[in-house]
Amino acid sequence: MKAVIYHNPKCGTSRNTLALLRHAGVEPEVIEYLLNPPSRARLGELIGAAGLTVRGAIREKEKQYLELGLDDEALGDEALLDAMLANPILIQRPFVETDLGTRLSRPSEVVLEILPPVSAPFTKEDGEVVIDQDGRRAH
C-alpha cells in the first residue's frame, strides 16, 4: 500500500501515527513538512481530502496563531493558507494519505481508518493501548 505522512518528528502524535503505519506493514513516504512544506495547492488538496475546513487544519496552540491574529473569525481561507505556508508549524499534523483515503491523524489512531485491518497489539509511546491483546481497538 502506498502511503505518505506529513510528519513532525518532535510531535508525539506524529511519531505514534508513523509507528502505527509501520505496525500495519506500511512503509510510508515521510515528508518532514517543517523542512519541506507542501505547496499551496497540495495543502488545499490535503485539507479537502481529509474533509476539513482550512480553519480546522490550523494549529491554534502555536504562539504564532495569536501573534498573527489568526483567531479573527473574519479571516478567510486565503489568509489562513498564507499564514500556514509562511509558518508551517501552524499546519496541523500529521496528515496521512493512503490508497484508502486522507486523514488528519489526530488522535493517532484515526490513521487506522485508512489502513488495512490491524489486529496485532499496539501501544502508544505514552503507554496508551490502541489495539489490545485480543486485536480489538481499545476505544
pLDDT in tens, 49-67: 999 999 999 999 999 999 9
Catalytic annotation, pick one of 1, 3, 9, 11: 11
Superfamily of domain 1-33+93-139: Glutaredoxin (3.40.30.10)
Evaluate whether 123 touches 130 at the Cβ level (below 8 Å).
Answer: yes
In whole angstroms, give the CA distance from residue 135 to residue 120: 6
Domain ranges of the chain: 1-33+93-139
Strands of the chain (E only): list them: 3-7, 29-32, 95-98, 101-104, 122-123, 129-131
In whole angstroms, give the CA distance from residue 99 to residue 71: 34
Evaluate whether 32 touches 7 at the Cβ level (below 8 Å).
Answer: yes
36 is catalytic: no
Q: Given pLDDT bands bounded at 50, 70 and 90, which one contains residue 138?
A: confident
Quick one: cell of 45? 488538496
